[in-house]
Amino acid sequence: MTSTDPPDPEPMLTRADLSQSDPDEPAPHSPFPIVGIGASAGGLEAFSQLLGHLPEQPGMAFVLVQHLDPKHESHLPELLARSTRMPVVEATDGLPVEPDHVYVIPPNAELAIEHGRLQVIPRSETAARHLSVDHFLRSLAQEQQMHAIGVVLSGTGSDGTLGLCEIKEVGGITFAQDEASARHSGMPRSASECGCADFVLAPDAIAQRLAEIGRHPYLSAAPVSEEEEDAEEEFRNILATVQSVTGLDFSHYRDTTIRRRISRRMALHTQPSLANYVRLLCEDRSEVEALYRDLLINVTSFFRDPEMFEALRERIVPQIVESKPHSEPIRIWVPGCSTGQEAYSLAMMFAECLDGRPYRPPVQIFATDVSDLVSIEKARAGIYPTNIEIDHHGRVWATECVNYRKYMDLRPEGDRVVIGNRSQYREGQKVQAKEVAPMNSNGGGAS
């Protein structure tokens, strides 16, 4: 029998759903989105196009970090003002950030944001490269969390990639300009190849997406009614769909984090309700896989926990080395390896401890993850952005370790890093390791 009753209203997404308090994660300082935009050569043209396609009052603030000649006066504010009716001003130290305003970095300075105010720091005299885009985007990620938006436009090099990755890790939204429209594709290509860009688009399309996403409850500062239907069934349907495709059950993960990650994916697709998003997942397997990658939250970096690595270097690693016969390999298992930085960090640490010894056992590191194959392949390749520099106890590894896989090939015979998907080991392959490095996982061992 067909019911004549009207269908129940779909549970609509509200800010109450998205902003459930989590004592472990700081709240954004500003209630409106702040868009950090990094650019170098060709960036003026790209940002002008982006500004020209935004609505007059997009409800967000824009901060442009452009590579500038430190010895010349900047005319960026006047040039950009031709493309928008929003006020365009050069950043000054302590300037509060307001919505529907554009702020531009001054020459010979670094820019950051703290407590809703811009911080202008005079650029230091140093031979090292100034990664001004990364510097600002990282501070924006820390300040704004899920209200942070990062954009990398035309420019050479790879500045901005690491900052964009940090914004994505905290739940923000990220863009890179597509190569076809970029006058210089180095910066946006680096961000895209690193996998940290949610969208790769031309400047006018970036503007359109920003306008759409800015109105979504995930980012919108507008008040939303707290009256809504119970969305638990749709939430369970989403987790069940992910499990049916990937084999992983996320029902025991932290609830607030999972809901926030789902909400982020909904914002990327401007889906207004959980029911709509469930339908999208049923129709589009690629979105199920994208949600799966977001839920895994691959947060990792080289020597990510300095105190932990210091304890390993001072106490644990020497103990392992001293206890090993010269002919017997040291075997370490790194579970939850994500994109591989932790495994290579351990390889460098053992190399530091063993170099110079007349006899040394081989070091074999087995790194595994349930992560998607994209992350696993990145770990296997061992290639990371060229602006990663690691000064570990006085040793700068950047010049020899941009390609960490190549670095491992130069190590003594027997040393190796093996990266694999955890499912390989579920089916009979065992990791013969006694020591575990569980920094990104709930478990993990070397022998």
Which residues does the annotation mark as catalytic? 40, 67, 159
64 backbone dihedrals φ, ψ, rounded to 5°: -95, 120
Choose among 211, 67, 93, 74: nearest CA to 152. Answer: 67
Please work out, in degrees rounded to the nearest 5, the angle formed at the alpha carbon of residue 9 by the alpha carbons of 287 and 278. Answer: 15
3-state secondary structure of 146: helix
Q: CA 388, CA 157: separation in Å to the nearest integer?
A: 12
Sign of the alpha-carbon torsion through 276, 277, 282, 286: positive
Tokens (6 digits) for 145: 């969390």
Residue type, 126: T
Tokens (6 digits) for 38: 């990094």
DSSP character at residue 258: H
Choose among 239, 253, 255: nearest CA to 288. Answer: 239
The CB density around residue 274, as the number of other CB atoms within 10 Å, is: 25
Residue type, 162: L
Q: Residue 406's Cα: distance from chain center in Å?
A: 25
For the chain, the maximum distance between any two Cα atoms, rounded to a whole number of angstroms, is 85
Q: CA 171, CA 196: separation in Å to the nearest integer?
A: 11
Q: CA 63, CA 319: separation in Å to the nearest integer?
A: 50
Burial zone of 424 (CB within 10 Å; 0-12 exposed, 13-18 middle, 19+ buried): exposed
Q: CA 33, CA 221: separation in Å to the nearest integer?
A: 8
